[in-house]
Structure 1
Amino acid sequence: MPLFVLPFPSIDPVLIAFGPFAIRWYALAYIAGLILGWWLAKRLCERDGLWGGKAAIPPEAFDDAVVWIAFGVILGGRIGYVLFYNLDYYLQNPIAALTVWHGGMSFHGGFLGSILAMALFCRRRGLPLLSMLDIAAAVVPIGLFFGRLANFINGELWGRTSDVPWAMVFPTGGPLPRHPSQLYEAGLEGLLMFLILMIAAKRGALARPGLIAGLFVFLYGCARITVEFVREPDPQLGYLYGDWLTMGMLLSLPMLALGASLMLRARSRPARSAAGA
């Protein structure tokens, strides 16, 4: 154990409680991510110059799309957790799958759920799916940033034991100091990815449908796999192979191929122009 260990900040996961009802930081993270993501997405849709002509997604269309996306994230995230991370338990306790307030969400499930929701919405409205995926992908890191901070406040999803100077002893992680892997993910999946995607958008990536979406998927796969090397795997699963392969890595590997495929496809086609739009 290192001589100096950073104390874990004692922050109550419940912000305000009214009798049996409680407002939790985790719920606020979802709300903040959706609201700020919706606001920024509309701003991007209003800037025709970023799209090589008139924006492919009208700003008012995103008002309805964000509701579909929210349901896709929540339902997909919960179903993904049940299927990918704790299927045996929920087969024996099916009612427990409905108790979302007890935690248990999968990013990869929410990712698939949001894509399905956007596909259905675009088909109904006659909007281009790749452009919708681009605009959603550009703002998703905002939600990831707040979500990982909420994981840290809750003292969950901590990292493996470590002797790095910034290691922390988490209340539910035993007596040994651990990597604050939630903060690593907030920095990589949130701040860094947000900056890269915004720079790409300002440099004309939205004019190539699928490019931003592909870049997001590829970068997330890289970031998640990197952090998984220092993140403690879920106890009910453990390591899938040796002492390094985790479910998070396994689910992220296809994202590298999908992201690269989307980017190559987008780059191989002509960019949108004012005349073409």
Structure 2
Amino acid sequence: MSLTMLAAAASEAAEPIYWVNLGLKNYLFRIGSFELRWYSLAYLAGIVLGYWHLSRMIKAPGAPLAQRHADDLFFYCTIGIILGGRLGYATFYTGGSSEIPSLWAHPAELLKLWHGGMSFHGGLIGVILAMAWVAWRNQLNFVRVADYIAVCVPFGMLFGRLANFVNGELWGRVAPNSVPWAMVFPDAGPLPRHPSQLYEAALEGALMIVVMLALFWKSRARYRPGLLVGVFTVGIASARFLVEFFREPDAQLQRFAQATGLSMGQWLTVPLILLGLFLVARALGRPELSMRRPIEIT
């Protein structure tokens, strides 16, 4: 076979995967006009599994909080995720240079969660405020509380990104012919694209679950305040920064990405990476907590 024929054969595009042929639905069941959507279940599953794991973690030596504090965190972090995610979307992804009218100018639209639109960074801010409130109210060490919460967050990230894939939303950029798993998504045109939702599920979810669980259960990281939350922050932000190269920028922020060279998601991860590196360096530069002195739980 000549080199020309080999080159021609190599250049032939494999038949792409069509998302519609996977038989996925964005809801578990429907009763009349009511739909129980997988995205809602993903949030619920992530929160419940995180609460269950946090309850296990605080039974291990060195816990900085008690079960009643975990109960408070479960309640307030749930509120923080929902409100923060929605308000973050309104702030970062509508108005300004975007092509979507600012949701801040239409307060009634902010309440319509079923229309979609949640921001990871906004949800993160909501969780931080929730942790700060519980820590202040109960006189707990905020950094140590953040360490324990950080171990549980990747569960929600995994479920959330899988739900994005099931919904056929937040697809990736157009993929070259050499990507055999490229998919044609509904409403994304006829060209095959990267299934970036699965990339995020693997990096922000599955990989971070393995890393964080190993650090907590197989090392002494819990005795270095700030180390767990620092590793989580660097890991989750770096994963998001990397995946954004394969993820299609939000339609309303295409011009912003072209003008700045980076997407909105990437710009928002830069300060998180710097903060995470600072927390890791600070934690490693200080002596670990002594196991001889019991940690007081108020």
TM-score (norm: length of structure 2) = 0.88
Match of 1:270, SS state, is: coil
In the alignment, residue 103 of structure 1 is paired with which amino acid?
A: G
2:235 equivalent to 1:219: yes
Q: Counterparts of 2:238 and 2:93 in 1: how far apart (Å)? A: 20
Q: Counterparts of 1:242 and 1:32 in 2: how far apart (Å)? A: 36
User: Percentage identity across aligned positions?
Assistant: 46
Which residue of structure 2 lines up, in the alignment, with residue 199 of structure 1?
214
1:56-83 deviations in Å (ceiling 9; x for gaps): 1223320121111111111111000000
In the alignment, residue 114 of structure 1 is paired with which amino acid?
A: V
Are 1:156 and 1:172, in contact at CA under 8 Å, matched by a contact in 2?
no
2:154 equivalent to 1:141: yes
Which residue of structure 1 lines up, in the alignment, with residue 8 of structure 2?
none
Are 1:208 and 1:266, in contact at CA under 8 Å, matched by a contact in 2?
yes
Q: Counterparts of 1:27 and 1:126 in 2: how far apart (Å)? A: 33
2:268 equivalent to 1:251: yes
What is the CA distance between 1:87 and its match in structure 2? 2.6
2:50 equivalent to 1:37: yes
Q: 1:92 to 1:47 in 2, by over 3 A?
A: closer
In the alignment, residue 225 of structure 1 is paired with which amino acid?
A: F
What is the CA distance between 1:113 and its match in structure 2? 0.9
Which residue of structure 2 lines up, in the alignment, with residue 3 of structure 1?
14
Which of 32, 35, 38 matches 1:25? 38
Q: Which runs of at least 4 in structure 1 moved beyond 3 Å after TM superposition? A: 91-94, 241-244
Are 2:69 and 2:134, in contact at CA under 8 Å, matched by a contact in 1?
no
Match of 2:88, SS state, is: helix
1:174-215 deviations in Å (ceiling 9; x for gaps): 111000000000000001011111111120111111110011
* Within-5 A mapping of 1:1-277: 2-8=13-19, 9-48=22-61, 51=62, 55-88=63-96, 89=101, 90-163=103-176, 164-201=179-216, 202-242=218-258, 244-276=261-293, 277=295
What is the CA distance between 1:91 and its match in structure 2? 4.6
Q: Which has the greater radius of gyration?
A: 2
Q: Counterparts of 2:270 and 2:230 in 1: how far apart (Å)? A: 14
Q: Counterparts of 1:39 and 1:172 in 2: how far apart (Å)? A: 38
What is the CA distance between 1:168 and its match in structure 2? 0.2
In the alignment, residue 132 of structure 1 is paired with which amino acid?
A: V
1:18-46 deviations in Å (ceiling 9; x for gaps): 22222100000001001111101111111
In the alignment, residue 246 of structure 1 is paired with which amino acid?
A: S
Q: Cα RMSD over matched residues?
A: 1.5
Are 2:230 and 2:279, in contact at CA under 8 Å, matched by a contact in 1?
yes
Are 1:149 and 1:183, in contact at CA under 8 Å, matched by a contact in 2?
yes
User: What are the ranges of 5 or more consecutive residues in structure 1 without an aligned counterpart?
Assistant: none
Q: Counterparts of 1:271 and 1:59 in 2: how far apart (Å)? A: 24
Are 1:73 and 1:111, in contact at CA under 8 Å, matched by a contact in 2?
yes
Are 2:249 and 2:257, in contact at CA under 8 Å, matched by a contact in 1?
no
What is the CA distance between 1:239 and its match in structure 2? 4.7
User: What are the ranges of 5 or more consecutive residues in structure 2 without an aligned counterpart?
Assistant: 1-11
Q: Counterparts of 2:197 and 2:37 in 1: how far apart (Å)? A: 17
Q: Counterparts of 1:241 and 1:67 in 2: how far apart (Å)? A: 36
Q: 1:13 to 1:241 in 2, by over 3 A?
A: closer
